[in-house]
Amino acid sequence: MTIPTTPPRAAAGRSVTPAARTTGERLDAATAGLPAPVAVVDLDALDANADDLVRRAGGTPVRVASKSVRVRHVLERVLERPGFAGVMAFAATEARWLAGHGVRDVLLGYPTVDTVAVDAIAADACAAAAVTFMVDDTAQADLLAAAAHRHGRRLRVCLDVDASLRVGRGPLVVHLGVRRSPVRTPDDAARLAAAVEQRGLEVRGVMFYEAQVAGLPDTSPAVRLVKAASVRELAHRRADVVDAVATVLGHPLELVNSGGTGSLEVSAAAPAVTEVTAGSGLFVPTLFDGYRAFEPRPAAFFGLDVVRVPAAGWATVFGGGYVASGPASPSRLPRPVWPAGLRLAPREGAGEVQTPLRVPARADLRVGDRVWFRHAKAGEVMERFAHVHLVRGDRVETSVPTYRGEGVCAG
């Protein structure tokens, strides 16, 4: 693809050479002729992270969570590596699109009521064979069954089972984890499996996402205690759920999905689990810096240019308001990482059009300099860019479209 460029420039006060020693210097050199805002993925870090995910999974196949990537070229690149198998998509339109581009195993990670997308998948033999839908309610199954009947297909589904930890009894129960599926017990899962099968759908397997383990950094002994308790409780309940559903179906489950970047080792080691899911561990955003289970190697960055210096100790960059989803807090803001020591202004944060930064004297930022940021979450930042530059060392190896660049706006 053709990317517009501007004349190369050297950042004032910074020497950029092919033998650059820091990530910021390498990214400056690689993108010197590219206009900002600019998104990059460091391929050396990406490859090392992919290898680490496979190592941590210990032989259990790793399914790639597309929401944490949102670049089809990167998804395909990762899927070519040994140890990875299939994609977990986040929307039905996206699942159909991926199947149309040759992905043969797409697990939809969330239920859908998009009747247009479901009908399109059911109408397409290749897509219907590739996509597995997620359900936790018979209402979702009814929608899928109607489309399957219209097109003479037998659509496949996976049951989403709540993996949160509940402590206490009766009205004093404390829910630790995310609010996802109403299906929790073996009896819940067995009833849903029977109802789904009665509607002419095929139950392929079950999924457990233990967000309180996989998505929570190891920030304190209390957090680690909750994680350990969650792992013990879920290990027993997951095995019971799998047995209950298999009994209803009359055969072993093909798919038992669990885990996330923060819990690969634990989930992969569970006897019933056939695959684990990871995505954020490829790019390693700032929310994953506090994990002890793996060495964070940031791979995704975005660069913004200084457009003015409003006062001594300040510099203003163009753009930057790429705030992550979740509870509104400083942890969801992008973080300036190079030059070192830059800080967001507490009263302004990351701006819609411009972002002021507090600058230490040693940074000596001037108009035209480039500042590199990391996002709080992995794939969300790619929604802000039409293309991303894949960097090896201090050179752009190739430039590829993001989901947005390919016209895919799934949610």
Q: Check: CATH 2.40.37.20 for 23-42+295-405?
A: yes
CATH superfamily to which 90-278 belongs:
Alanine racemase (3.20.20.10)
Q: Is the C-alpha dihedral spanning 29, 30, 35, 36 positive or negative?
A: negative
Residues in the chain, pLDDT under 50: 1-20
Count the neighbouring beta carbons within 10 Å of the beta carbon of residue 225: 10
Partner residues linked to 36 by β-bridges: none
**Numbered ranges of CATH 3.20.20.10 in the chain:** 90-278
Q: Per the confidence metrics, is the pTM higher than 0.85?
A: yes
What's residue 15's pLDDT? 42
Gyration radius of the chain over CA positions: 23
CA 15 from centroid of its chain's CA atoms: 35
Q: Among all chains, which residue has been given the structure tokens 């064979």?
A: 129
**Numbered ranges of CATH 2.40.37.20 in the chain:** 23-42+295-405
What's residue 226's pLDDT? 64
What's residue 227's pLDDT? 64
Count the neighbouring beta carbons within 10 Å of the beta carbon of residue 353: 9
Instruction: Name every residue whose Cβ is closer than 8 Å to that of residue 410 and which is 6 or more positions away in sequence.
Output: 90, 91, 93, 94, 97, 403
